[in-house]
Amino acid sequence: MEFYTMSDIIPLLPIPAPPQGRISYNLPCPCCDRPERKKDRHLNIHLQKNVFRCSKCGWNGGVLDLYAQFSHTPRHMARDALLHIFNGSADSVKAKPTVRRPATRMDSPPVPDETPLVDVDVRHQTYSAFLSMLSLAPDHRQNLAARGLSVDAVEKGGYRTTPVAGSRIFAKQLLDAGCRLEGVPGFYIDKAGQWTAIAMRRGLLVPVRDPQGRIQGIQVRLDRQDRRKYRWLSSVGATGGCGAESWAHLAGPPMEAIILTEGPLKADVVHCLTGQTVLAVPGVNALRHLEAALVELVGLGVRQVMTAFDMDFLQNPHVRNGYAELVGLLGRMEFGFGTYLWDPGFKGLDDFVLARCRVRND
């Protein structure tokens, strides 16, 4: 099978070339960034791994997906189109095209290889110990209560406030406790050769859990950020560190019928207010890990999925495209499925459910 790299196809597309010496770089996302905002560059292209991902909307994929999007070629025709460009015919496969690697300047510092992600049991042990060392600030506790989370739900969720200092101390305490930091997103080796935790702006740490309740990763909800408020705790590009992935989050025990929404914190709120089990993806276009989560949930008895994405999917074409892909996935997996709709004056299902609960309690 013919294999093409990002370095092969980028010169064919109307996008900027990678800077010299870089193995990844950012450019505007065609799905969510606005052209008039020149600083919007949420789409990351990784030249070594031949993948891309938008940190804002979650759109991701490989070489053929990127080529299809920017060349306006149907995805199922992308490979044949590249075969025709490089080989002169889509029906005959010749030698692989010469790989055009970005030039590396002699004075460019070496880029550390990314450490492989460790398995979820190791991540859960490290993250659980790390969160146990932290506290939840009063303003964050009040915010969670205002969202509808009970005192018990806040404690069970494991939310914490980002630490303002002591990154090396936390890392040392974790190592002394027998936790592994290598390959756990958020930890890395600094220039002094010591393990440390990634520096974070102030925000709320939100554990993202799998169907067994294990912490797969941690999202950070920044206090002061107008756009892209949620980030993943990540140490991508740092020595000993690695990046987070767009894991799905389950709030509540597996049941025959579950709700599928976007945002782990929203899922926790809806579960707390309704008792319904809620599966959450980071965004409607971030479906990379959803299929694996659904396969696991089928084995746990889940048979029906009701989608409940933010109501802007009715107006946003990129969100609608992601929703169409999701519906196709649910159909292929033979789930019974439907869609919840509510008053569009409430963006998310969590907002709508909270408002209804307050009306009933008045």
Please name the residues in contact with 272: beta carbons below 8 A apart, sequence gap of 6 or more.
148, 149, 150, 153
List, in order of start, the domains of the chain with CATH numbers.
6-87 (3.90.580.10), 120-232 (3.90.980.10), 249-361 (3.40.1360.10)
Report residue 75's pLDDT band, with 50, 70 and 90 as the boundaries. confident
The phi, psi pair for 166, rounded to 5°, reads 85, 25
Mean pLDDT lowest among 81-95, 178-192, 297-311 = 81-95
Do the Cβ atoms of 147 and 192 come closer than 8 Å?
Answer: no
Report the distance separating Cα 202 and Cα 217, nearest Å: 18
Mean pLDDT lowest among 37-51, 138-152, 256-270 = 37-51
Residue 1 has pLDDT above 50, yes or no: no
Report the pLDDT value the prediction gives residue 315, as an integer from 0 to 100: 67
What does the DSSP assignment read for 155-194?
HHHT-EEPPSS-HHHHHHHHHHTT---TTSTTEEE-TTS-
Between residues 40 and 190, the one the model is more confident about:
190
Residue 179 has pLDDT above 90, yes or no: yes
Do the Cβ atoms of 224 and 305 come closer than 8 Å?
Answer: no
Average of per-residue pLDDT values in the chain? 84
Q: How do residues 187-243 score in pLDDT, each as one tens digit?
A: 999 989 999 999 888 999 999 999 999 999 999 999 986 667 888 999 887 888 888
Report the pLDDT value the prediction gives residue 240, as an integer from 0 to 100: 87
Report the pLDDT value the prediction gives residue 319, as an integer from 0 to 100: 65
Q: How do residues 133-152 score in pLDDT, each as one tens digit?
A: 999 999 999 999 999 999 99
Global confidence as pTM:
0.71
Per cent of the chain over pLDDT 90 is 43
Residue 108 has pLDDT above 50, yes or no: no
Mean pLDDT of 51-71: 86
Residue 270 has pLDDT above 80, yes or no: yes
Residue whose tokens read 């869609």: 339
